[in-house]
Structure 1
Amino acid sequence: MRTTVGIIGAGPAGLLLARLLHNAGIASVVLERRNRTYVEHRQRAGILEQATVDALRAAGAGERMDREGMPHHGIELRFGRRTHRVDFPSLTGARGVMVYAQTEVVKDLIALQLAEGGPLLFGTEVTAVEGADSDSPTIRYLHEGREQTLACDFVVGCDGFHGVSRHAVPTSARTTYERSYPYSWLGILAEAAPVYEELIYAHSARGFALASMRSASVSRLYLQVPNGTDPEEWHDERIWDELDARFATDTDPGWKLERGPVTSKAVLPMRSRVTEPMRHGRVFLAGDAAHIVPPTGAKGLNLAAADVIVLARALIAWRRTGSAELLDTYSDTCLRRVWRAEHFSYFMTTTLHADPAQSAFETRLQLSQLERVVTSRHAAAELAENYTGLPLPH
C-alpha cells in the first residue's frame, strides 16, 4: 500500500492531521495500535484553547463541540483560604477556552475519518519506520495477523513517547530534555454536578487540588498525592473530604462540592519532556511523541493540535508549490511554542503544588507570586494569554 502521508497514532493529533489533509485533497493512512473502543474511551485532557476550537470548527469537526461543549471565560485561584477570579476576555481581547473532553474530540474525528477520509486501521502494531532519509520512507506494521508495509512520501509520528516513531530519529541526532516532579495527581471522574461554573485551582497547606468538569452532571477532580500512591488506598469518602478541605475558604466557609459515585480514579505522574528536533528527514514528530507537559497548564492536547496545524500548512504548501520551506522550518517553528508552553506549565505546577521538601520560605514565595497574579493586571494578563493559548504562527 502507498500513500502521501503515513500517520502513526489515532489520538487527537493524528486524527486532526488526517482531517486537515483530507480537506486539502492530500491522501493519508492512519495506523493505530489500540482498538476503536479503547481509543474513544481513554481519559485525557478536557480544556481546548481558542486556536484548537477554531481549528476543529474549520476542519468540520466542531458541530457537536459547539452544541455540547462549555465555553469558559476565566478560572478561579484559591490560596490563603481566599478566592480570586482571573477573567480571560478582559485580559486577552475576548479569547477563552472550551471544556470539551478529549474523548469527545476523538469520537468526532474518528466518525469523520471513517465516513469521508482515508484508511484508519485499528489494532495495527507498527514495528518499524525505515528510510527516514529517503524520498519514500516506509512503515512496517502488523494488521490482522499479517506483516505489511506502507510506502509514504512523509511519515508523521503521533504515537506518544513510547511509540515507534521517535526511534526513527537516530539517538545521535536527538536530544531529550526532561524533568520529573516529586508528586503526582490522583484524578477522578464522578457522577456529580459541578457546583462551580469555572475551573478552580487551589493552593493549600495540604497540597494542590483542581476542580474541573466533563459535563453539567460529571465532575473531573484532582488531588496532589505522593509519587507511587496506590489509588485504591483512597476510598470515595476520603477523596471528597480531602477535596473539601483543600478548597475551603474563610469567605464562604459552608462551600462544599456536590458528592456522587466515583466512576474512575487513577494516579497520574507529573513530568516535563521535550525531544529535539521534531523532524528527521521525511519523518515528523507531533504531540507526545515530541513533548510532554504536566497537566496543570492544560497544554498537552493543545500543543499536539498546534503541531499538526503547522505541519498541515507545510504539507499543503509543498503539494501546491513544490516548496519544502515550511517543512524545513517545522521543528523550529513548533519548538518555539512548545518551550513557551513548557515554561507556563512549569510555572503553574511549581507555583501551585507543595513540594514535599520545600521550606516555609519557598511557600511564602509561592503565595507572593499568586498574590501578584491577582493584584496586577500585567501578571494576570500573562497567565490568561498563556492559558487561552498563544497565537499560532502564520
Structure 2
Amino acid sequence: MHTQVAIIGAGPAGLTLSRMLHLQGVSSIVLENRDREYIETRTRAGVLEQPTVALMHELGVGDRLSTEGMSHNGFYLRFDRATHHLDFHRLGGGHATVYAQQELVKDLVANRLSTGGSLLFDAEVTAIETTADGARILVDHAGTPLEITADFVAGCDGFHGVSRAHIPAGRLREHSRTYPVAWLGILARTAPTTPEGMYCAHENGLSVHSMRGPRITRQYLQVPADTDLDDWSDERIWDELALRSASDDHPELERGEIFDRSVAPLRSYVCETMQDGRLFLLGDAAHIVPPTGAKGLNLAVSDASTLSHALGAYFAAGDRSFLDAYSETCLPRIWKAQQFSWTLTTTLHALSDDPMDWQLRRARLGRWVESEAEQAALGEVYLGLPFPTRWNFTG
C-alpha cells in the first residue's frame, strides 16, 4: 500500500493534518493503535484558542463546535477569598471556546470516514524505515501484518510513541523540566462555579474549576506527583476543592457525583528536532506543556497547519523550502506557549514551603488583577497567537 503521507496517530494533530491534506488533493493514511471508542471517549483538554476554532470552521468540521462549544472571554482568578474576572476579549478581541478534545476528535473522525479517507484503528506501528526517497512503515493491524510505503511520515503519536524514538538519540536536541506536583482531575455532575473557568491560588495549592456543560464540571486539585488515587475519597476531594476555592463573594462550591477521576503529572518538554529526513513530529510527540493554560491541543493543531502548508507546497510545486524550515517555523510559537504555561504554573501552584514564595506569587497575582497591560499580555497568548503559517488550500 502506498500513500503520499503516512500519519501515525489519530489525535487532533493527525486528524487535522489528514483533513487539510485531503482538501489539497494529497493522499494520506492515518494509523491509530487504539480503537475508535477509546480515542472518542478519553478525557482530555477542553479549551480551544481562537485560531483553532477558526481553522475547524474552514475545514468544515465546526458545526457541533458552534452549537455545543461555550465561548469564553477569559477566565476567573480567585485568591485571598476574592474573585476577579480577567476579560481578555474586552482588551484584545477574540474568544476561547470550551469544547472537549474527545468531541473534536469525534468530529474529525466522522469527517475522515465520511469523505472516504483511510483511517485504520488497532494499527500498531512496529517499525519505521526512512531513506532519502521515502519511507516504509510496518504495521500490526489487529494481528495482520501490513506494509505501507509513503513519501513522508507525520509522527502524531504522542510522547511515548514510536515516531520520535525512530530519530537517533545523537541527533535529538531535547529540553525538559519536571514539576513536583500533579493534577488530580475529576468530572462531576454539578453546576459550574463561575460562568467561565476559574483558577484558585491557595497556600495549600491550586484548584481549577471549569465546565463541560450546564451540569457537568471538570475540576482539578494540585497534588504531590506521587499521589495514589486510592488515597482520595470523594469526600476528601470535595473538602479540599471547597477549601481552596472558598470566597467571600460567591456561594460555596456545589458537590455532586464524581464519575471520572485521574492523576496527571506536570512536565515541560521540547524536542527541537521536529524533523529528521522524511519524518516530521507534531503535537505531544515533539512537545509537552503543563495543563495550566490549556496549550497542548492548540499547539498540535498549529503544528498540523504548518506541516500541511509545507507538504502542500511540495506536492503542488516541488518546493521543499517550507519542509526544510518546518522545525524553525514551529518552534517560536511552541516556546512562547511554554513560557506562558510556565508563568501560570509557577504563579498558581504552591511549589515551595518557603513563606516568601507565597508572598511573591500573591504580588504577581495582584499585578494580573490590577494592570490592564498585564491582562492584555496574558490574553494575547491565552486566546491564541496566530499560527506560524496558513495552510494553503485554494479549492
User: Above 0.5 in TM-score?
Assistant: yes
| 1:156 paired residue number | 154
Deviation for aligned residue 1:276: 1.6
CA offsets, 1:98-127, max 9 Å, x none? 000001000010001111042100001101
Q: Is the CA contact (8 Å cut-off) linking 2:45 and 2:297 kept in structure 1?
A: yes
* 1:296 Cα offset (Å): 0.5
- C-alpha distance in 1, partners of 2:193/2:221? 17
Q: Which residue of 2 aligns with 1:103?
A: 102
Q: Which moved more, 1:259-268 or 1:235-244?
A: 235-244
- Between the aligned partners of 2:121 and 2:229, the Cα distance in structure 1 is 30
The more displaced of 319-328 and 154-163 is: 319-328
SS of aligned partner of 1:297: coil
Matched, 1:17 2:17: yes
Does the aligned pair in 1 maintain the 2:193–2:209 contact within 8 Å?
Answer: no
- Contact 1:159/1:288 (CA < 8 Å) preserved in 2? yes
2:221 counterpart (201, 210, 223): 223
1:333 and 2:333 matched? no
Is the contact between residue 231 and residue 267 of structure 1 (CA under 8 Å) also seen in structure 2? yes
- State the partner residue of 1:213: 211
Contact 2:246 2:253 in 1 (8 A): no
| Cα distance in 2, alignment partners of residues 189 and 340 from structure 1 | 30
**C-alpha separation in 2, matches of 1:64 and 1:250:** 37
Shift of the alpha carbon at 1:362?
Answer: 1.5
Once residues 373 and 274 of structure 1 are traced to their aligned partners in structure 2, the CA distance between those partners, rounded to angstroms, is 27
Please name the residue that 2:122 is paired with.
123
Instruction: Give the aligned residue type for 2:232.
Output: W
**Superimposed CA distance per residue, residues 335-383 of structure 1 (whole angstroms, 9 cap, x where no aligned partner):** 111111011101100100001x341111111111111111111111111
Say if 1:9 and 1:31, in contact at 8 Å, map to a contact too: yes
Offset from partner CA, 1:73-96 (integer Å, 9 cap, x none): 11011112211111011222x111
Q: Matched residue of 1:296: which SS?
A: coil
Q: Which amino acid is 1:42 matched to? A: R
2:240 maps to what in 1? 242
Alignment of 1:219-368 (within 5 A): 219-252=217-250, 255-355=251-351, 357-368=352-363
Report whether the alignment pairs 1:202 with 2:200: yes
Equivalent position to 2:375, from 376, 380, 384 = 380
Contact in 2 for aligned 1:186/1:225 (Cα 8 Å): yes
Which deviates further from its counterpart, 325-334 or 235-244?
235-244
Q: CA, structure 1 residues 117+258, in 2 after alignment: closer, same or farther (shift >3 Å)?
A: farther
Contact residue 174 and residue 273 of structure 2 kept, 8 A: no
Give the deviation of 1:259 after TM superposition.
Answer: 1.8
Residues 1:147 and 2:142 aligned together: no
Alignment RMSD, CA only? 1.1
**How big is the shift at 1:195?**
3.4
AA partner of residue 111 (structure 1)? A
Letter in 2 for 1:282: R
**Structure 2 CA distance, aligned partners of 1:39 and 1:249?**
38
Query: For the residues of structure 2 that align with 1:237 and 1:227, how far apart are their CA atoms?
Result: 21
CA distance in 2, matches of 1:155, 1:199: 37
- Looking at structure 2, the residues matched to 377 and 102 of structure 1 have their Cα atoms a distance apart, in angstroms, of 31
Task: Give the letter for the 2:164 counterpart.
Answer: R
CA contact (8 A) 1:192 1:260 kept: yes
Q: Quote the offset at 1:148 in angstroms.
A: 1.6
Q: Which runs of 5+ in 1 are unaligned?
A: none
Tell me the residue number matched to 1:136. Answer: 134
The partner residue of 2:184 within 186, 201, 207 is 186
Following TM superposition, the consecutive aligned residue runs of length 4 or more in structure 1 with deviations greater than 2 angstroms are: none
* Shift of residue 146, structure 1, vs aligned partner: 2.0
Confirm or deny: 8 A CA contact 1:91 1:385 kept in the other structure. no
Task: State the AA in 2 paired with 1:137.
Answer: A
Partners in 1 of 2:317 and 2:113 — Cα distance? 29
**CA–CA distance in structure 2, aligned partners of residues 284 and 159 of structure 1:** 11
In structure 2, what residue type is equivalent to 1:71?
S
Instruction: Count the aligned residue pairs.
Output: 389
Distance apart, 1:333 and its partner CA: 0.8
- Separation in 2, partners of 1:242, 1:169: 44
Name the CA distance, whole Å, in 2 between partners of 1:162 and 1:242: 32
- Identical residues among aligned pairs (%): 51
- Secondary structure of 1:383 counterpart: helix
What is the deviation of 1:325?
1.0
Unaligned runs of 5+ in 2: 390-395
Q: Which amino acid aligns with 1:387?
A: Y
Q: Is the 8 A contact 1:189 1:218 kept in 2?
A: yes
Deviation readout 1:11-44 (Å, 9 max, x if unpaired): 1110111111111111100000001111111111
Task: Name the aligned partner's letter for residue 280 of structure 1.
Answer: D
Aligned partners of 1:229, 1:274: CA distance in 2, in Å?
A: 25
Mapped contact 2:302–2:388 kept (Cα < 8 A) = no
Is the 8 Å Cα contact of residues 19 and 117 (structure 1) preserved in structure 2? no
Distance 1:147 1:385 in 2: 48
